[in-house]
Structures are given as C-alpha cells and as structure tokens.
C-alpha cells in the first residue's frame, strides 16, 4: 500500500438550503507517487467536491473516512498548510482578485509556500527570472503578469494562469478540476505540457476531466470512473477511450 | 518591486501586536488647569507669548463656541463629552523652545524613534540608510508635535534657502505675524462649526508652511502628531499657503498611547492655493482606536479645508484613516479659481467597535472647475463606516465637472457601511457623476488565496490592498508602504 495519497471511505456533505446533502459516499482511492490518475464521470457525481475536500474548502463537512497524504492526516490541515505540503488545486473557475497584481500574488504565494517548506524566499530579481522562464516554457505572454489576478482574463487565459501558478508552486500533488473545459487545442496542449513538465517520481496528479483529448496528451497511469459519490470502476488509460465511445451508462448501472 | 510583499514581511516581523504605538512616554509636563474658560485661553495665549490680536481672535472663537451645539447629524454615537473635564494645554517641561535637536529632551527623541520618525537629519542627509541599487530617497522635512507643542523641525535650513517657511505655527505667529494674521481663519472661520470654534479658541500648536511664488518645495514636508499626556485634548492648527506657480507635498501622521478613556482631538487645517499653485496633503491617521470592546480611543473631530483661490490651482487630499474610536472629518475644497481642481482620495478602515463618518465637500464656484472623489471604505468586526460627501455646483460654475466613486468592502457580517452623497447642482452646464459599489471579501477569494499558500491574514491584506490601490497610489512612495502595513494591522483578527 502506497503512503503517498490514500483516500479511504470518504464521506462528505454540504449544507444545501439548510438541509445537509451527502455528496461523497465512500470514496476509496490510492495514488502512488509519480503517477497521473484521471477521474471521469457524469455531472453531479462528486468529482469537483472531491477536489474541494482534498484542498480543504470549509463548506464541505467530512462525516467519515480518512485522507492521508505523505503520511500526514490531510483532513486535519488548514488549506494553506495543505498547499505548503504540496497540494495544488487548479480551479475549474479561477477566482478574480480585483486590484491584486498577478505577479505580486504569485510571488507572495511562492514565498509563503517556500517559507513553510523551509526554503529561502525568492527576492524580486530571482522571482522575476523564475517566472519569466516559466511563462516562456508555457508560451505565455509576460503581459499577463502585469494584470490583476484573473480579472478580465478570457477562459483560456485563466486556465493558463492556473498552470503558471502550478508550475511556480512546485506541488507534489496537482489536482486539475476540469482545467481542460472550454479550451482550444493549443491551450489544452499548454495545460498538458504544464503537467508533463512536472512529472517526476515524486509528483502525482489527479486529473478530473470529461474529455479524452487531454488524457491523450497526459497518458494517465490509471483512469477512474466516479458516479454517485463513489469510485465505481478503475482501469488503465484504455478506459478513457472506452468511455469516449460508450459513455457512462454501463458504469452507472454497475453503481446502482 | 511590489511593495505589498515587503509590507507583509515587515508586518510579520511586528508579530501580532495590534497597536504597537500604544506606549506612553514619561516626561515632565506643564499643564494648564483642567477645564475651559476665558482664563484657560488667556493662559494658553500668554504661555505662548502671543500678540493681542490673536488673543482677541481666540476669545471671539470661544464666545462663538459657547453659543454652538455639538453636531449630531453624523452617523456616530458616543457618550456626551464633558469639555470641562479635560486639559487644554500640556507641554513638555522646558524653558525656551529647543534651538536644535541636541536641546530636545532625549526621552522625546526616543519616543519619536519608536514611532519610526527619522528626526536625525544628519543621517538622512548623508543618505547612509539608502541601500545600494535603490533610488536615493527624497529627504523629508519633519515637524514633530508632542501633545500641545512642536518639539523639533528638521531641514529648516535647506528649506529656508529655497525660501520655504516650515515651522511651528506658534513660531510663525511670532516671526511672520502678517502672513498668519492674513490667512488664519480665512478658510475655516472661527465660527465655522462647533469643533473648529473650539480649536480656534484653544489651539496650541501645529505646522505652518509658506511657499513663495514660483517655488517647488524641494522636499516632502511632514508633521507627526503625538498625544501623550492623559486627559488631554489635542488641538493643532495647520496653515499652508502656497503662492502663484508654487507647489508643496505635505504629510501628517498621528499616533497616541493606549488608554481606557477617550481623548479628544479637534484639529483644523487650512490650505490656500493661489494661481497655478498645487498642494498635495496626505494623512496617515492612526490614533489609538480603542480596544476590541470599544474601550478608550481617540475622538477625531477634524475640520480640513482648502481654498483654490487662484486660477488653475489644485488641492489634493489623500487620507488613510485606520485609527481613532470615532472619526468625523470631511477634507474639503473650495474651487473658486477658474479651472481649479480638487481631489479627494480616501481609505477609511474600521474594525472592532470603531466608527467613522468621513468624506469630503467639493464646492464648485469658478468656471471649468473639476473635482474627483475616490472613497474606499472597509468595515470589519462590529464597526460602522459612513461616506458622507457633498458636491455643490454654484450657478456660475459653468463647465464644472465632478466624478465620485464610493466603494465599500465588508468583512464579516456584523459591520456596516453607508454611503450618503449629497449633490446640489445649480448649473445646467455642469456634469456630475456618481458611482458606488458594495462588496464583501468572498469565501471563494479567501479559499483561492489560501489554496495558494497564503494565510488568512495575508489573503485579507492582499485583497484589501488591491481594493484600495487607486487611493494608495496617490500617497508619496515612502508612506504608501507604511499605509499598506497599517491597513493589514488594523484588520488583524477580523477574519476567521
């Protein structure tokens, strides 16, 4: 059994208009170090909720189950502690921060995480060097750094910005929540390149997607199907191709 | 380099102290007896060796004050103030005024050092503190007012060479009586309002600035106000006169010790700008705000007004208001000269039980006068903050324009933000615009920042600084960093 990411019997609910609504109903998932796993599944199956719960969003109440990450109890940690420990969530809908300069935000985040990890902080010059290298690698324009965080960004620019943040924060677990949705082929490629560039024996990714195409670029080690708050089926990369052709119907029947 | 990061680094060094300026300095003081009557005023006037005209002026103000009532229209509440239960004159004990820094009580200098005021001009002049690679900073001339008395003014020689007068107003009364007599009370008359009348009767010191024709003041001027003595009101008076084609940038900072009782601060600031003159007046106000239950803190009841007398003159107010239990203040511009410009940039932060009712008045008298108002209000805790502004366009002000933008940011659900704009337009050829927004720091924004590794405090600091950016960028560089730091400290403990 791997001790990298181990999700066991995870139940979580959210308060929906005063009544608790259970969304995760016993998720079991193990991701060993160095692997890319994909989660696919119909809308409302709990994929995004799983990513939020892993990142520590407070709206969700974990009612039972456990998540251990590199031997630590992930659920006991604050969101910023999880970030420092190496968890990165690429948001499905990145949030706008009016008036907050993108480069400044990035540098603040990078240094907060470096501080927490016991690394020396980057000064302005070193930061600029690193970030320029990163934007170049991701074929992004530096102009994006001068704007306010996600404000007035197109859908594609927001996603690229997420990938830039991911690149700079050097996570050991990247969770991509439908980062590919609404992207054209070139942007998709950038996202995939961003993940692939981080691939190493100590980096894993959990990729939530509806589309085969991103997985073509990522070549995941495992593909899981999520339905009704549970992982109902797991397989290799070929599973995604199967779903692309057949849809989820057969797995839903399995889960019922 | 982004200043916000540096700012936060500095804040972290400060630890969790909520009000680090709350110390008290033990200095022998000279008090006038408690209470307010003609004798008190005569005593203040004689201590300051004032001419008869000024005493008469004070007494007229006092007579006016006695017929006036404390205003009640502001959206603030406090127990009645007993004006007889305070000291109106407190000065560090010392015979004649100090001639140089060497003569100043070392205890006082230590106080200012704690406040971070660079009084030691030698070091600054030599520029020793400027790290390599960084742009040499503009030196700043400082006037320090301790309770009722100005204790030290730096750089006077350099300024004098440029023809600029920068000195305590008590000295100006002695050395430049004609100037003072001509302008004192010409913008804020003695009977203007309750607190201005009180100030006129008992003001003890403050700063005086005179910039002659065609002179751009060679450095930033700055006054630090410090209330130290117990049960003492502070009533400073500032008068700035800028002649044709001259300009000055002036900054004031304020702090006070932490005390259980409320202390009154009722200042008056008068600005006069002649033809093509420009005055930039910035305030970083950080009087003690009281504790989290609303005990103690300064009542900050201030009248600030500038007169754009000459054509194309410009007066710009920038304020960052983070302190005081109650703030009541409306820095205004009287736009008399043709094509004159008034600006008001404000950030008002209230936390815990603080109350602020602040804004501006733009009075358009001359043709083609323009004004801009950008007010950012941030409320947290159980605090209450109001923007109150008046834009008045008089019949002759053809072509006048005003743009007003009021944005409120709420942190938590126990605080209040209110916007009360008054617009009076008597000229059909004028254009007045008003925009207002209210927003909250959303949970989405907080989660996004925290997911990227920022602590809650850092996230709030970043978002608030972003919200205030349009105003902070108006501050002189050195003070923008200080202001950002203050914003964050003021909001400590406001989330979670």
Question: A16: domain CATH number?
Answer: 3.40.50.300
Residue B92 is classified by DSSP as E
Q: Is B2 in Cβ contact with A101 (below 8 Å)?
A: yes
Asked whether residue B144 carries a pLDDT value surpassing 80, the answer given is no
State the pLDDT at residue A156: 86
Q: Does A90 touch chain B (CB under 8 A)?
A: no
Among B378, B451, B480, the strongest candidate for a mutation testing the A interface, having the largest count of A CBs within 10 A, is B451
State the pLDDT at residue A25: 96
Burial class (CB in 10 A: 0-12, 13-18, 19+), B151: buried
Distance between CA atoms of residues B290 and B288, nearest Å: 6
The residue of chain A with its CA nearest to that of B5 is A108
Q: Chain B: nearest CA to A245, how far in angstroms?
A: 35
Distance between CA atoms of residues B194 and B66, nearest Å: 9
Q: Does A91 touch chain B (CB under 8 A)?
A: yes
Residues of A in contact with B470 (CB under 8 A): 99
Q: Is B451 in Cβ contact with A56 (below 8 Å)?
A: yes
Q: Does A103 touch chain B (CB under 8 A)?
A: yes
State the pLDDT at residue B113: 60
Distance between CA atoms of residues B364 and B84, nearest Å: 39
Structure tokens at B285: 């106000």
B408 within 8 A of B375, measured Cβ to Cβ: no
Confidence of residue B141 (pLDDT cuts 50, 70, 90): low
Instruction: Name the residue range of residue A136's domain.
Output: 5-255
Distance between CA atoms of residues A161 and A197, nearest Å: 16
**Percent residues over pLDDT 90 in chain B:** 44
Q: Is A94 in Cβ contact with B453 (below 8 Å)?
A: no
Distance between CA atoms of residues B252 and B268, nearest Å: 13
ipTM field: 0.96
Split into its structural domains, chain A has a count of 1
Average pLDDT, chain B: 81
Q: Does A83 touch chain B (CB under 8 A)?
A: yes
Q: Is A79 in Cβ contact with B448 (below 8 Å)?
A: no
Asked whether residue A54 carries a pLDDT value surpassing 90, the answer given is yes
Task: Give per-residue burial for A126-136: e unless 16+ CB within 10 Å, then b.
Answer: ebbebbeebbe
Burial class (CB in 10 A: 0-12, 13-18, 19+), A96: middle
Asked whether residue B259 carries a pLDDT value surpassing 80, the answer given is no
pLDDT (tens digit, 9 = 90+) per residue, A143-199? 889 999 999 998 888 999 999 999 999 999 999 999 888 788 888 888 899 999 999
List the single range of B111-125, B366-380, B460-474 with lowest mean pLDDT: B111-125
Give residue B299's region: left, alpha or beta (phi > 0; psi -120 to 50).
beta
* Higher pLDDT pick, B110 / A126: A126
Confidence of residue B136 (pLDDT cuts 50, 70, 90): very low
Q: How many CB atoms lie within 10 A of CB B230?
A: 15
pLDDT (tens digit, 9 = 90+) per residue, B162-171? 999 988 898 8
State the pLDDT at residue A83: 97
Q: Is B5 in Cβ contact with A111 (below 8 Å)?
A: yes
Distance between CA atoms of residues B383 and B156, nearest Å: 42
Residue spans of the domains in chain B: they are: 8-490
* Higher pLDDT pick, B135 / B478: B478
**Per-residue pLDDT averaged across B116-138, rounded?**
38
List the single range of A247-256, B6-15, B177-186 with lowest mean pLDDT: B6-15
* Higher pLDDT pick, A78 / B353: A78
B83 within 8 A of B110, measured Cβ to Cβ: no
* Higher pLDDT pick, B181 / B106: B181
pLDDT (tens digit, 9 = 90+) per residue, B432-455? 999 999 988 888 999 999 999 999
């Amino acid at each position: 059994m791997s001790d990298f990411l181990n999700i066991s019997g995870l139940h979580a609910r959210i308060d929906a208009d005063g009544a608790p609504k259970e969304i995760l109903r016993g998720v079991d998932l193990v991701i060993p170090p160095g692997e890319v796993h994909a989660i696919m599944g119909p809308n409302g199956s709990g994929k995004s909720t799983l990513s939020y719960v892993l990142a520590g969003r407070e709206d969700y109440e974990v009612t039972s189950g456990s998540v251990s990450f590199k031997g630590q109890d992930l659920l006991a940690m604050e969101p910023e502690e999880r970030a420092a420990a190496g968890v990165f969530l690429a948001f499905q809908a990145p949030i706008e921060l009016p008036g907050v300069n993108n480069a400044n935000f990035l540098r603040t985040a990078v240094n907060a995480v470096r501080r927490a990890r016991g690394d020396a902080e980057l000064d302005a010059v070193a930061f600029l060097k690193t970030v320029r290298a990163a934007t170049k690698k991701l074929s992004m324009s530096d102009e994006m750094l001068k704007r306010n965080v996600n404000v007035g960004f197109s859908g594609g620019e927001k996603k690229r910005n997420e990938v830039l943040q991911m690149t700079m924060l050097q996570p050991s677990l990247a969770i991509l929540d439908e980062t590919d949705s609404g992207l054209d082929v070139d942007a998709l490629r950038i996202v995939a390149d961003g993940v692939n560039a981080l691939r190493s024996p100590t980096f894993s990714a959990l990729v939530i997607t509806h589309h085969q195409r991103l997985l073509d670029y990522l070549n995941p080690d495992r593909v899981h199907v999520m339905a009704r708050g549970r992982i109902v089926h797991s397989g290799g990369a070929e599973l995604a191709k199967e779903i692309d052709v057949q849809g989820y119907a057969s797995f839903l029947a399995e889960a019922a | 380099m982004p200043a916000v990061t540096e700012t936060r680094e500095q804040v972290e060094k400060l630890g969790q102290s909520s009000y680090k300026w709350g110390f008290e300095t033990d200095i022998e003081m000279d008090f006038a007896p408690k209470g307010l009557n003609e004798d008190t005023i005569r005593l203040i006037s004689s201590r300051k060796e004032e001419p008869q005209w000024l005493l008469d002026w004070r007494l007229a103000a006092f007579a006016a004050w006695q017929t006036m009532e404390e205003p009640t229209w502001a959206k603030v509440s406090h127990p009645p103030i007993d004006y007889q239960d305070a000291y109106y004159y407190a000065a560090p004990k010392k015979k004649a005024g100090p001639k140089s820094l060497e003569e100043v009580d070392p205890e006082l200098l230590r106080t200012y050092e704690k406040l971070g005021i660079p009084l030691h001009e030698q070091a600054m002049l030599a520029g020793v503190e400027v790290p390599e690679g960084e742009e040499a900073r503009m030196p700043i001339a400082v006037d320090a007012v301790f309770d009722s008395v100005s204790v030290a003014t730096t750089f006077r020689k350099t300024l004098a060479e440029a023809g600029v007068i920068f000195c305590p107003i008590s000295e100006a009364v002695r050395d430049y009586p004609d100037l003072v007599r001509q302008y004192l009370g010409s913008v804020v008359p003695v009977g203007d309002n309750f607190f201005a009348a009180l100030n006129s009767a008992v003001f003890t010191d403050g700063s005086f600035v005179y910039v002659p024709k065609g002179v751009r003041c060679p450095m930033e001027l700055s006054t630090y106000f410090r209330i130290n003595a117990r049960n003492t009101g502070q009533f400073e008076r500032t008068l700035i006169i800028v002649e044709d084609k001259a300009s000055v940038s002036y900054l004031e900072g304020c702090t006070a010790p932490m005390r259980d009782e409320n202390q009154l601060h009722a200042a008056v600031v008068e600005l006069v700008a002649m033809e093509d003159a420009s005055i930039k007046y910035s305030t970083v106000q950080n009087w003690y705000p009281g504790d989290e239950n609303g005990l103690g803190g300064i009542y900050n009841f201030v009248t600030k007004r500038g007169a754009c007398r000459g054509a194309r003159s410009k007066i710009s107010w920038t304020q960052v208001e983070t302190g005081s239990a109650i703030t009541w203040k409306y820095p205004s511009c009287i736009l008399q000269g043709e094509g004159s410009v008034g600006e008001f940039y404000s950030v008002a932060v209230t936390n815990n039980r603080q109350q602020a009712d602040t804004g501006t008045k733009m009075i358009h008298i001359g043709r083609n006068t323009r004004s801009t108002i950008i007010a950012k209000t941030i409320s947290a805790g159980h605090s209450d903050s109001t923007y109150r502004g008046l834009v008045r366009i008089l019949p002759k002000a053809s072509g006048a324009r005003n743009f007003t933008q009021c944005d409120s940011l709420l942190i938590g659900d126990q605080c209040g933000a209110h916007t009360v704009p008054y617009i009076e337009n008597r000229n059909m050829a004028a254009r007045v615009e008003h925009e207002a927004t209210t927003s909250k720091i959303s949970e989405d924004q907080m989660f996004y920042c925290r997911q990227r590794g920022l602590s809650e405090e850092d996230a709030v600091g970043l978002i608030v600084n972003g919200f205030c950016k349009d105003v902070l960028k108006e501050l002189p560089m050195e003070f923008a960093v200080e202001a950002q730091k203050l914003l964050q400290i003021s909001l400590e403990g406001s989330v979670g």
